[in-house]
Structure 1
Amino acid sequence: MAGTQRTDEALARALSAFRAGDPVLVHDFDDREGETDIVYPARAVTAADVARLRNDAGGLVCAAVSDAAAEAMDLPFLESEIDHPAAADHELAYDDRSSFSLPVNHRETFTGITDEDRALTVTKLSEAADAAVEGEYDAEDFAADFRAPGHVNVLRGAPGLLDDRRGHTELGLALAAEAGVGPAVVVCEMLDDESGAALSTDAAREYAERHGFPFLDGDRIVDALA
């Protein structure tokens, strides 16, 4: 009972953080990637948040959108669109497939790579995803607002979220759905500056405690939300 209570408290804290526009650290599973991502609700991301992801996480800054939003905007899985031998056999050691869709910039950005540009692309992606799930935004609208290739990698969530796949894409989107903050999140892997490997779970927990951010293990999210 005590373990369940702690899980409930941790989840409630994470949902409150999302509703406030603050990040949550999410560790997936030791037998999967074994990585911790900093995850933000996409609608709240600022240039300062992108700087934190760059400096404190160090992985790839990606914006994940729900399957329903991606379907409405006609965003494909990238591996199915690449006509090159390198994409013919896309085996992954940790999953059945990649979540990558198109890498994009918003058309109001300049190079697309600055903190300000990426924050703009991310928040506009969130607005687009919101409108898409309401049936008010489609592929032509997306093409008018975004260009590809760009500097923010879009990830497409699995149709059944945690029932279909349990990557950071789905874990983050499940939290966002439960928090009611829209069908888009930003995820970025935390790396170790000294080793270059994934940041250890203990170090990620320490970072979360130091900065007052919630930390959740993937199995806790699955137990509560799947």
Structure 2
Amino acid sequence: MSRSAETDLDPTERVVEAFRAGEPVLVHDFDDREGETDLVYPAGAVTPAEVARMRNDAGGLVCVALPDDVAETLGLPFMDDVLDHPAAAAHDLAYDSRSSFSFTVNHRDSFTGITDRDRAMTISRLAPVAELARAGDYDADDFGGEFRAPGHVHLLRGAPNLLDDRQGHTELGLALADHATLPPAVVVCEMLDDETGAALSKADAREYAGRHDLAFVDGDRLLSDLS
């Protein structure tokens, strides 16, 4: 959906419609949280070219968020629940009470797992897998037959009640997928500033969105409209 065709829609409607069409959208979380803008995709729409966009234009970590019920069915824990190491003993995050990280995976048909083609294969396959798992037609053994860990795609596990429990990009992206009636698997990648190495400012993220004809929305707007 071109930006010229979106002028009659509010920011959330623009984002939902673009997301439903398989386009990446830009979501800024909250100024008093991470203060970051992520490129967010439906996992099933990710191609090698989109992995390249995340590498070159965003620069953050490429992750796939799955909802709590899907992660539970697939046997994907929060990593901080299973790591037995002093580094996992305390969570002193400045922006939240816990991390969403689960395993890292590669699709078994990939080679090294890190190339644009390999990561796109892993990411895009997670969309139908999440849908099958939610329907009860795919379990941890099936997952282990198709994916191997560790790998090069980071999996995130959403909070059980999504935005009622936590308001990170993980939950914002999954809520967006729900409202767009898409499979419950969402890619998030932080946008970084090439010059400073810090998070890309909201103003620069908006400018990027305008330059590339992409939808942009603030997390507080999504939280208000989707929760």
| TM band (smaller chain) | over 0.9
TM-score, with normalisation over the residues of structure 2? 0.95
Deviation of residue 86 (structure 1)? 0.6
Q: Which residue of 1 aligns with 2:59?
A: 58
Deviation of residue 8 (structure 1)? 5.8
The answer for unaligned runs of 5 or more in structure 2 is 1-6
Q: Are 2:106 and 2:149, in contact at CA under 8 Å, matched by a contact in 1?
A: yes
Q: Distance in 2 between matches of 1:91 and 1:139?
A: 31
Q: Distance in 2 between matches of 1:56 and 1:116?
A: 17
Q: Are 2:101 and 2:157, in contact at CA under 8 Å, matched by a contact in 1?
A: yes
Q: Which residue of 2 aligns with 1:224?
A: 225
Task: For 1:120, give the aligned amino acid.
Answer: M
Relative to structure 1, is the Cα distance of residues 7 and 137 closer, same or farther in structure 2, using a 3 angstrom cutoff? farther
The answer for unaligned runs of 5 or more in structure 1 is 1-5
Q: Which residue of 2 aligns with 1:12?
A: 13
Q: Which residue of 1 aligns with 2:111?
A: 110
Q: Distance in 2 between matches of 1:28 and 1:56?
A: 18
Deviation of residue 13 (structure 1)? 1.1
Deviates more, 1:80-89 or 1:96-105: 80-89
Q: Are 1:7 and 1:220, in contact at CA under 8 Å, matched by a contact in 2?
A: no
Matches within 5 A, 1:1-226: 9-226=10-227
The runs of at least 4 consecutive aligned structure 1 residues that moved more than 3 Å come to: none
Helix, strand or coil at the partner of 1:34: coil
User: Once superposed, what is the RMSD of the aligned Cα atoms?
Assistant: 1.2
Deviation of residue 16 (structure 1)? 1.1
Task: For 1:83, give the aligned amino acid.
Answer: D
Deviation of residue 182 (structure 1)? 1.2
Q: Which residue of 2 aligns with 1:3?
A: none
Q: Distance in 1 between matches of 2:196 and 2:111?
A: 34
Q: Distance in 2 between matches of 1:103 and 1:222?
A: 28
Q: Distance in 2 between matches of 1:166 and 1:10?
A: 18
TM-score, with normalisation over the residues of structure 1? 0.96
Deviation of residue 90 (structure 1)? 2.2
Deviation of residue 7 (structure 1)? 10
Give per-residue Cα distances to partners, 1:44-72, cap 9 Å, x unaligned.
Answer: 10000000000000000000011111111
